[in-house]
Each structure stands twice: as C-alpha cells, then as structure tokens.
Homo-oligomer: A and B are copies of this chain.
Amino acid sequence: MVKIAVDAMGGDNAPQVIVEGIELARQDFPNVEFILYGKEPEIKKYISDLTNITIVHTEEKINSDDEPVKAVRRKKQASMILAAQAVKNGEADAVLSAGNTGALLAAGLFVVGRINNVERPGLMSTLPVFKGDLDGFDFIDMGANADNKPEHLLTYAVLGTFYAKNVRKVVNPRVGLLNNGTEATKGSELTKTAHELLSESKDINFVGNVEARDLFNGVADVVVTDGFTGNAVLKTMEGTGLAMMSILKDSIKSGGTKSKLGALLLKDSLLQLKEKMDYSNHGGAVLFGLKGPVVKCHGSADAKAVSAAIRQINDMQETAVINELTTFFEK
C-alpha cells in the first residue's frame, strides 16, 4: 500500500477539488490509502465511500497569505503540518497539498526532513516538450532556494536524473544546465563553476548548456538551474502563455461575426493548445531531496490535476526513487 497524507484544506477550491481528485484517482489506484487532514464535515460532503480513506479532523489551516516559516512554527494543528507530521512519524509515505507553497517547502524541510547529504532540496516539475516524441523535461530548482551554490546544481542534476529514469522511464536522461549561451565558457560565476562540476560527474549524462529559448524543444530531459532563475523562467512561461491567450481572445471578441465563426471552427485546435501548455497532467511540483514525496499542486488545480499528482506519488513510491536516492547520497 502507498499511504498519502493529504492537506485537504489547501488551495483555492479546497476541500472540494482535493476530494474530487481523490475520487478520480482511487479507481485507478486501489492500492493507495488516503489520510485527509481538515474539517471533517466539509470533507465528507464530497466523499462517496470511505474505503481506503481516513479523515483526521482539524480546525486549523495555513492560509495562502500566511508568512510561511511563521505559519509552520505556530500553526502546529494546521492540516498541512499534520500531513507532514504523518510522514515524519511513519504513518504516511507522502504529502500532497495545493496550499501555500512557501509553507509547504518549510514543512517539507523542517518536518519531513532532508535525505542525508542533500543540502538543498529543489522544487521540480515535469514541463512539456513540443517537439518529437518526448513528453517533457524535469526542471529543477523552480524556486525552493533563492541562492544556490554550484554544488547544489550538481545535486539537482542527480535528483532529476533519478526522477526521469525511474518515474518517467527515460533511458540515460540528458542533463542540461540553463545558461545564457550554449558555449561552455558562457555564463555567470555560478553557472561556469556548475558547468565544470557537471562535466566532471560520472553520475549523470551531462549534455552541456541549454538556453531558455529551447526548453520546449526537448534539448534535455532534465534541466538544472538556481531557484531564482528557475522561478523567473517558470513565471515567464505562465505570464507569456496567459498574455497570448488573452490577446487572442480579445482580438476574436472585437473581430465580429467572422472572427467568432473562425474561433468556433478552430475550437479543437485552441483546446489542444491549452491542453498541451498545461503541465499539470504530469503531476504537481515535487520538493525533491526529502525523505518522502512532498508534492504541491497549483492553488487553482482542478480534480484532474490533483488526480495526476496522486498518480505521480504512486509512481514515485512504486519505483522506489527516494530509496534509491537515499542510498546514492549516503554512499
């Protein structure tokens, strides 16, 4: 059995979409047990039957605007913290939350705890690739750390390699270093030193520098960067995608009947575009490098995204990726 501790109260539409996501996933994964933390009466409204589900009632929750570290310290009975405690105490294998990202990172670090010798866990998602047969690349660190040392980027490369290999079944994953040019001599002090470390490492398949422009083209299976840059890149992708969709919508609206008919005929293509840009079908963002999977869904995640995150946790447990990482980093 895989046991997932779920923060049922985190996210814009909690607990409804969280529970609906579980309802979606439980059919495919009868081997997964859920412990839901949150307001029992609210949670129960959306559950069909309680097979494999335990509800632990708590009144407290961490809000999206709470200061993360303070919230983790003070709100000991919050649904998110109880979920993290469950992993620490061995009552569950993994944490799932759509709540305050900063608080979940803090709960991951301070409650679940790091794998030995992993100084800085990184936040990682599988982002889409739009060329060839590749379905995505693992991008780490997307913002767990604002300042990174070159050694952290080597750790990210190892973490990403194990994930791509185990969970996404990529053979000999190609690791790229996000940089401001592809030549080996390019970059900041950080990326130049990281380039040396990555080149020398025998534990990864380093393919050199990659540029942000080419990420969607499948230049690498794992792309490592410092958390500040990773965060900026991810948010730029989101902002650019949203801006383009909104310009197109406005333009269709103001274009009269011809335009609207065109949009109607193109509906499938536009939906396909939206679907391809949406990376939540690969699961949530993993705070990776911890003793158990801690997975963050977007605050506005729908039931499908929550269900994808459950599948992701199940895959991580079944492929024992964290056990393998623990062995690797302890050797």
Neighbouring B residues of A264 by C-beta, 8 Å: 262
Interface SS, A side: helix
Cβ-closest chain B residue relative to A187 = B146
* Known contacts A188-B146, A188-B228, A247-B130; A268/B273 CB under 8 A: no
* Known contacts A187-B146, A229-B228; A269/B240 CB under 8 A: no
A24 at the interface (CB under 8 A from B): no
Complex CA distance for A216 and B240, rounded to whole angstroms: 8
Q: What distance in Å separates the Cβ of A198 from its nearest Cβ neighbour in chain B?
A: 17
A214 at the interface (CB under 8 A from B): yes
Interface residues of A in 208-249 (CB under 8 A from B): 211-217, 225, 227-229, 231-233, 235-244, 246-248
Task: Please state if B244 and A272 are interface contacts (CB–CB under 8 Å).
Answer: no
A residues with a Cβ closer than 8 A to B are 130, 143, 146-147, 178, 180, 186-189, 191, 211-217, 225, 227-229, 231-233, 235-244, 246-248, 251-252, 255, 258-259, 261-270, 272-273, 276-277
Neighbouring B residues of A266 by C-beta, 8 Å: 252, 255, 259, 262-263, 266
Question: Which of B217, B235, B242, B268 is close to A211, meaning CB atoms less than 8 Å apart?
Answer: B235
Task: Please state if B228 and A212 are interface contacts (CB–CB under 8 Å).
Answer: no
Q: What distance in Å separates the Cβ of A272 from its nearest Cβ neighbour in chain B?
A: 5
Q: What distance in Å separates the Cβ of A67 from its nearest Cβ neighbour in chain B?
A: 9
Task: Please state if B235 and A237 are interface contacts (CB–CB under 8 Å).
Answer: no
Task: Please state if A252 and B269 are interface contacts (CB–CB under 8 Å).
Answer: yes
Neighbouring B residues of A241 by C-beta, 8 Å: 240, 244
Task: Please state if A143 and B180 are interface contacts (CB–CB under 8 Å).
Answer: yes
Neighbouring B residues of A215 by C-beta, 8 Å: 236, 239
- Sampled A-B contacts (29; CB under 8 Å): A130-B246, A130-B247, A146-B187, A146-B188, A146-B191, A178-B232, A212-B236, A213-B238, A213-B242, A215-B236, A216-B243, A228-B229, A229-B229, A232-B232, A237-B240, A240-B240, A240-B241, A247-B272, A248-B270, A248-B273, A252-B269, A255-B266, A258-B265, A259-B268, A261-B262, A262-B264, A262-B267, A263-B269, A266-B266
